[in-house]
Structure 1
């Protein structure tokens, strides 16, 4: 047997059926119904053109939800299954569906107890749509069969005919991977899903999926600033958000020594104020402003954390009785 199902065959479930078919709790859609779908891992139930009118479906595992009374069937396909499509209609195209279907004699009229992968043929139409599936079925692929298609004229163009309809499910409390169709509501407050680019959390109060943002990991420090010998450190404080990769600081120093007169152009010999502590330094060099309340200048912050005063107000002076303050916000490496 290739397609296996646990808890289906009366007194005939094999050890292999039990080991292969998934039987752990999965994400729910209601108190009694599970979210049926394909279990992620590799490329489950992959579709590959095998011949002009034949498609091969690869191995995979899934849950197929029946009615509320039936419950959900764990399914395992442990080997390739080859499906044959009928020729296209002479006038109109159609859309066929490849699905996993469970037959259960206790709940349907088929008189069989088995699981299988089958082709559900759609109706030819000028604007064809995928067929409606029987209960206890899980859609895997839709296949467009153009009018007049047959092996004699080249068959189905598998590169363009296949539409991936696999949706995914996962263990209860797990993050549901992106699959076909994101237009479903969450089953409970705090459920998570991956929409392909960001993680989303279901807000039951708002009735919507919301982008999940990790709690801010904000850290702060007032130590570790290595002040230059030409200056006295008055204060230093820095904050960083590790999640966002952003850091900001404020440093205030007083210049030692004699007053430094500044020419009209405002240029001065570069003076190092000090160095930021390791882990609190920018990804790239940046320019920042400085002021003592009377005059203003510019400074340079290097990726090594060194702050260098470079210019000051023209015809001004760097005095040793005023506090020079500078601050900056930057991206961490």
Structure 2
């Protein structure tokens, strides 16, 4: 057996054994015990974990590659450092005639002082599962570190196709680092931290800190922006920000991600319509819809409002030498409450002299203040003419609200 260990054999531990197993890597579970796991690293630096990688060697045989690990026993037993300096082959028993089974490949330490096995050694071992219609993995023995689950189909044998290696393996390997080190997570189940302030790096590249109760993404802990690489991560608190693929930042409001800086808001109507009303009205003859715009007030309580239209005044048939003015104004409401009412001083306008003809494009920009942050407001366009003998025409009308941050 190639798997080497320290402080297990009663006699025969060599200086080479001791040197190979000077690991110095213990990720705490509590003040006394450490986590069982494999030291991270790969030959080219591209992978988190290459130690004890398993590949097929033949129909019923696999090769476990070299690596170093720590296996934690019970509290009184301590931690066993082990190393595999050269690859090791493991062989699986033929499949059951009727049902499949799930075997475990483990690193296992036999210590006769505790297990009554009359053995003192570390081995790479296959723990055979129980065949069943719905097979489950064999239980992990004491002082063992699981490496892989292997599904052995019914009837599998060296002469009958063997194990389908491309689909039969489930990687169970987990990593460890020295106390205070950043753990590169490589495990199906994320283990809880041992102390507040412990750090880990997840498989999706998210840097996390243990806060005493849960793993918190690093950007949350320091109030930073969650990067695009971790965009699927659940938010941690209202007010947290994250990057998006489209570019604009988003902010967590306690229930959902929403644009961090909403707006600008814009609505327009390119249809021409006219009014003969001398009081403000929302509807225009020949224009099918009312022009309105809703927006959400920013934290600053302030927004810039810009609106306008192309206007012209046309005499009714049989009328001559009439002067007048066309007005466009906006009413601001919150639900059914009028926040800012119609006022000619707040309107855009175009005037016509007695002999004048033609039209004009006009707009204005005004500041909206005293808004309630997060509240929804609506701006609705109203129009009028100063003279019932003049049709006030409006075309290319628009409203824009730009929140101030």
TM-score, normalised relative to structure 1: 0.64
User: What is the distance in 1 between the residues matched to 2:73 and 2:40?
Assistant: 21
d(CA) in 1 for partners of 2:38, 2:132: 30
Q: Indicate if the aligned counterparts of 1:22 and 1:76 stay in contact, CA closer than 8 A.
A: no
Judged with a 3 Å threshold, the aligned counterparts in structure 2 of structure 1 residues 171 and 294 are, in CA distance, closer, same or farther, namely closer
Aligned to 2:35: 35
CA 199–8 in structure 1, closer or farther in 2 if over 3 Å, else same: same
Counterpart of 2:19 in structure 1 is 19
Aligned match for 2:68, one of 54, 61, 71: 61
Matched-pair contact (CA < 8 Å) for 2:150–2:168? yes
Deviations 1:6-64 (A, max 9, x none): 22223432121121114315111011110111111111101110011001100011101
Q: Is 2:173 the partner of 1:166?
A: yes
- 2:218 alignment partner, one of 209, 212, 232: 212
- What displacement does 1:181 show? 2.5
Q: How does 1:147-162 map to 2 (within 5 A)?
A: 147-162=154-169
Q: Which residue of 2 aligns with 1:118?
A: 125
User: Is contact 2:25-2:39 (8 Å) kept?
Assistant: no
TM-score, structure 2 as length reference: 0.53
Q: Please state how far the C-alpha of 1:215 moved relative to its aligned partner.
A: 4.2
* In structure 2, distance between residues paired with 1:19 and 1:40: 18
CA separation in 2, counterparts of 1:86 and 1:294? 78
Going from structure 1 to structure 2, the CA distance change for 1:173 and 1:65 (only over 3 Å counts) comes to: same
Unaligned runs of 5+ in 2: 43-49, 225-241, 250-303, 308-360, 364-402
Contact 1:123 1:131 in 2 (8 A): yes
Pick the structure with greater CA Rg.
2
User: Structure 1 CA distance, aligned partners of 2:305 and 2:130?
Assistant: 83
Q: What is the alpha-carbon distance in structure 2 between the residues aligned to residue 315 and residue 31 of structure 1? A: 75
Q: Give SS of 1:51's match.
A: coil
What pairs with 1:239-318 in structure 2 (closer than 5 Å)?
Answer: none
Partners of 1:215 and 1:180 lie apart in 2 by 26
Instruction: Count the aligned residue pairs.
Output: 242
Q: Assess, with a 3 A threshold, how the Cα gap between structure 1 residues 91 and 13 changes in structure 2: closer, same or farther.
A: same
* C-alpha contact (below 8 Å) 2:25/2:176 kept by paired residues: no
Q: State the distance in 2 between where 1:142 and 1:295 align.
A: 66
Gap regions ≥5 residues in structure 1? 218-242, 248-292, 297-313, 317-326
Q: Does structure 1 residue 196 correspond to structure 2 residue 203?
A: yes
Q: Which residue of 1 aligns with 2:146?
A: 139
1:190 Cα offset (Å): 1.2
Alpha-carbon distance between aligned partners in 1 of 2:36 and 2:121, rounded to the nearest angstrom? 18
